[in-house]
Structure 1
Amino acid sequence: MNILLMEDDPVLSDILLDFLRESYNVDYAFHAQEVYELLETKQYDLFLFDINVTGQNGLDLLQELRHFSNTTPTIFITAYSDTQHLQKAFESGAHDYIKKPFELQELIARIENTKRLFHIETTHEETIGEDMRFHPQTKEIRTSHHTVVLGPKDALLLSYFLKNRHRLISNEELIQNIWNFDSMPSDATLRSHIRTLREIIGKEKIKTVRGEGYLYE
């Protein structure tokens, strides 16, 4: 399930990304312009938008997306408790909302309910090789002969490489997109995760560019 999260609170966004990426493919936008840029190259199963963000707010953004016939199911994150904002959220095209502060498991419940209501496919897979597929939802790498279940960080790293094929990715970029600021790994830890992936998918898939980073081919 591909989710696009728009949230301009850096602390909350880090928490949500780290938690949601355990179960879903999640891209992140700080504001509306980044949402538009991501939508130019990718489709999503669910929007998770904060209402009160910098620049164009979530309500106006969704209303504009609906005007351009984008029907992606949407859950709003909101600190508002008045009925006026909630009514406007539904008028803008939202399907659900969750009020701050909230429990992370409540958010998962609302996402799963939206997935059921809209019959969102959960069997998305990525091709790694001729006889190798990666299933992000279950963190499984499958071939015709066996299945390997990746650890959470290994699965996130592989997903990031697959989204950025043939592009040089620095250590800093990988760390910033996979780990929280309060749990930054050492370079040795990152190399250990890369080594684990190479042992499973093949050493030739992830190339080291000395002094610069990694390249997935």
Structure 2
Amino acid sequence: MRLLLVEDEKSLADSLAYLLRSQRYQVDVAYDGAAGLKLALEKVYDLIVLDRMLPKMNGIEVLRELRELQLEIPVLMVTARDTVQDRVQGLDSGADDYLLKPFATEELLARVRALTRRGQAPLQESEMATPSFRFTPAKGEVVQGGEVIRLTPTESSLLELLLRNANNVVTKEIILERIWGYASDIEPGNIDLYIHYLRKKLQTTSIRTIRSKGYMWEE
């Protein structure tokens, strides 16, 4: 699981990052809103822990920008402002949960666990469409030019990950974590093999190799 922590109080940010890493989360830290937004747009995260009062861009501005760009990353907003109006504004701007400072570390970890579980809800039968084909992740089926192409579970998970992050680089590290799990001993070279399988099965050039980084779906 990869988290983004956006907190301008450096000592608090570093302490929270240490706590989260001790729970086996991978954590990136930004100390202002603009830097946090930049990271959120560049990388794939399972959750953003976002302080409300930030320099350069406040948490509400960051959150609204993410939602306007239709990025549905779960966001836990953290703030010392405890009025009902403040909480309503945060939730109306797209926050998934709200945590008041000061808070117990156990409560923070419980909120993080709840939100990351929510982001891993079972797949539905819904389709994902590209100009070239229709893809049903739950079935592992691609319909292309009237032909049904069946994918293995790993191929299906990999294609879904790429499509859900279309036009963004998905690093090999993220692919390994999302597809095979944090503790897996799968070698990074296996990713290249599955990318080869996908390209061949779909006869597509939309999966771009981004040298030294990973892959990107680009129509």
Aligned equivalent of 1:142, options 185, 197, 200: 185
Partner residue in 1 for 2:67: 66
Q: Within 2, Cα distance between the matches of 1:115 and 1:30? A: 22
Decide whether aligned partners of structure 1 residues 120 and 29 sit closer, same or farther in structure 2, where only a CA change above 3 A counts: farther
Indicate if the aligned counterparts of 1:59 and 1:89 stay in contact, CA closer than 8 A: yes
Q: Within 1, Cα distance between the matches of 2:57 and 2:100? A: 20
Q: Within 2, Cα distance between the matches of 1:36 and 1:74? A: 12
Cα deviation 1:153-202 (Å, max 9, x = unaligned): xxxxxxxxxxxx97xxxxxxxxxxxxxxxxxxxxxxxxxxxxxxxxxxxx
Which structure 2 residues correspond to residues 162-181 of structure 1 after superposition, within 5 A? none
Deviation (angstroms), 1:3: 0.7
Q: Considering only aligned residues, what root-mean-square deviation do their CA atoms show, in Å?
A: 3.1
Decide whether aligned partners of structure 1 residues 34 and 109 sit closer, same or farther in structure 2, where only a CA change above 3 A counts: same
Which structure 2 residues correspond to residues 77-92 of structure 1 after superposition, within 5 A? 77-92=78-93
TM-score of the superposed pair, with normalisation by structure 1: 0.56
Aligned-residue identity in percent: 32
Indicate if the aligned counterparts of 1:76 and 1:94 stay in contact, CA closer than 8 A: yes
Which structure 2 residues correspond to residues 1-217 of structure 1 after superposition, within 5 A? 1-22=1-22, 23-119=24-120, 140=183, 142=185
Cα deviation 1:110-159 (Å, max 9, x = unaligned): 011112222269xxxx979xxxx789x98746369xxxxxxxxxxxxxxx
Deviation (angstroms), 1:73: 0.6
Decide whether aligned partners of structure 1 residues 102 and 141 sit closer, same or farther in structure 2, where only a CA change above 3 A counts: same
SS at match of 1:26: strand
Q: Within 2, Cα distance between the matches of 1:120 and 1:16? A: 26
Indicate if the aligned counterparts of 2:37 and 2:62 stay in contact, CA closer than 8 A: no
Q: Within 2, Cα distance between the matches of 1:134 and 1:95? A: 23
Deviation (angstroms), 1:61: 1.1
Cα deviation 1:46-102 (Å, max 9, x = unaligned): 111000111211011101111111111100111011001100000100010111111
The unaligned stretches of length 5 or more in structure 1 are 145-164, 167-217
Decide whether aligned partners of structure 1 residues 64 and 37 sit closer, same or farther in structure 2, where only a CA change above 3 A counts: closer
Stretches (4+) displaced over 4 A: none
The unaligned stretches of length 5 or more in structure 2 are 123-170, 188-210, 213-219
Decide whether aligned partners of structure 1 residues 21 and 32 sit closer, same or farther in structure 2, where only a CA change above 3 A counts: same
Aligned length: 140
Decide whether aligned partners of structure 1 residues 31 and 143 sit closer, same or farther in structure 2, where only a CA change above 3 A counts: closer
Q: Within 2, Cα distance between the matches of 1:68 and 1:84? A: 25
Deviation (angstroms), 1:36: 3.0
TM-score of the superposed pair, with normalisation by structure 2: 0.56
